[in-house]
Amino acid sequence: MHTAILIPLTFAGAMLLEISRLPAGSLGWLAWCRPEWLCMVTFYWGFQSARGLNPVVLWCFGLFVDVLLGQPLGLNGAILALIAYVVGLNCERLRMYSMPQQVAILLMILLLAETLRSWILNLAGHSGWSFETYVASFITVLLWPVFEALVKKWHLPRSLG
């Protein structure tokens, strides 16, 4: 599938998954395990897309995410644009990396992104922080190999052949 179609499709899917409803009550802890779909998609396209991601478009997209998640305007845009920028700078290297190396880099980026998010949310007056915040980062890296293989199948079908 053409990248110009696949990129918006994966971002739209990630946004829907970010806000989809999870079970409440006794399964309420599942909310901590929600993968960071948007960061994962940004990471993938940051180094796999030939042209990279446009930080300005990503930042504008982040504004919609901010509203959907009820977070301060500009927060998610900054995080996504920063991930795209950092990954874009190292895209050649990341393409050559093995899966464990990619997982390690992704985990580092996600943990830094979550820390940045928590700092800003606390500065903005949103109370509540705990180590559970980082659970989502670990779940995300566990899903990364499957996600990468699936998107690659659509993105670069010949590479699997």
Partner 1 sequence: MGALVLLSVVLIVLDTATRWVVPIRSALVTVVAPVQYAVEFPYLLTSTLQFSLTDRNTLVALNEAQAEEILRLSHSVQQLASLKAENDSMRALLDSKARLPDEVTITEIVGIVPDPNRKEVIIDKGRIDDVSVGQAVLHDQGLFGQVIEVGQLSSRVMLIVDQDHAVPVRVVRSGVRSIAGGSGSVDELFLEHVPKFADIKVGDVVVTSGLGGRFPQGYPVGEVATVDSDQRSGFATIRVAPAARLSEARHLLIVRPSEEPSDLPAAVGSEGSLQ
> For residues 51 and 153, which CB has a smaller minimum distance to partner 1 in the complex?
51
Number of H helices, E strands in the chain: 7, 0
CB neighbour list of residue 57: distance below 8 Å, 6 or more residues apart: none
* Under rule CB under 8 A, residue 129 binds partner 1: yes
Window 60 to 79, contacts with partner 1 (CB under 8 A): 63-64, 66-75, 77-78
Query: For partner 1, which residue of 2, 92, 98, 128 counts as binding (CB under 8 A)?
Result: 128
> For residues 66 and 107, which CB has a smaller minimum distance to partner 1 in the complex?
66
* Under rule CB under 8 A, residue 19 binds partner 1: yes
How far is it, in rounded angstroms, from Cα 88 to Cα 82?
10
> For residues 136 and 148, which CB has a smaller minimum distance to partner 1 in the complex?
136
* Under rule CB under 8 A, residue 26 binds partner 1: no
Measured at the alpha carbon of residue 149, what is the angle toward residues 19 and 41, in degrees to the nearest 5? 35
How far is it, in rounded angstroms, from Cα 134 to Cα 35?
10
How far is it, in rounded angstroms, from Cα 39 to Cα 107?
11
* Under rule CB under 8 A, residue 119 binds partner 1: no
Q: Residue 107: which of 52, 18, 35 has the closest Cα?
A: 35
Residue 25's φ and ψ, nearest 5 degrees, are: 70, -130
Query: For partner 1, which residue of 9, 103, 112, 120 counts as binding (CB under 8 A)?
Result: 120
> Residue numbers of the site for partner 1 (CB under 8 A)?
15-16, 18-22, 24-25, 28, 31-32, 34, 55-56, 59, 63-64, 66-75, 77-78, 81-82, 85, 120, 123-129, 132
